[in-house]
Amino acid sequence: MARQETIRFTVSLPASLLEALDRRIVGRGYESRSEFVRDLIRARLVEEAWAGADTEVHGALTIVYDHHRRGLTDKLHRVQHNQFVHILCTQHVHLDHDHCLETIVLRGTPGEIERMALEIGGLKGVSFAELARTAVVED
């Protein structure tokens, strides 16, 4: 995307809110108030995309499971093949002798992704499941 013009504008805040903002800027390693505020706005746009019914969004589902659990790897495979149009990629890491960590990158409507995350996370033997929600929004 072509580099866009940056526009400055003034925001009026109560002093206490500005102090709270500045504490977060330092705590999270931001270089400037502007960068922090830009990210706040982007995070809100991602939230709004996820609140829509038909918007295209992306998610990264991280799961940990015990691959010895009878039938679990087959079920995980079946769910993902049934929804292959929504699965962009998976990454598998062997954590130790028993446990596997998988990240599954998903694309679809918020409802489709939430359903798949619940289905996969709810399988017996999956001991951890967390969905990171994102979407392509304005830079």
126-134 vs 87-94, strand pairing mode:
unpaired
Q: Indicate the residue among 3 and 97 with the shorter CB distance to Ni ion.
A: 97
Binding track over 80-99 against Ni ion, x by CB under 5 A:
--------------x-----
Q: Does 44 bind Ni ion (CB under 5 A)?
A: no
Q: Indicate the residue among 57 and 76 with the shorter CB distance to Ni ion.
A: 76
Residues contacting Ni ion: total by CB under 5 A: 2
For Ni ion, the binding residue among 37, 88, 100, 123 (CB under 5 A) is 100
CA contacts within 13 A on the Cβ side of 42: 13
Residue number closest to Ni ion, CB atom: 100
Residues in CB range of 86: below 8 A, 6 or more apart: 106, 107, 108, 112, 113, 116
- Whole-angstrom Cα distance, residue 78 to residue 7? 50
Task: Give the residues lining the site for Ni ion (CB under 5 A).
Answer: 94, 100
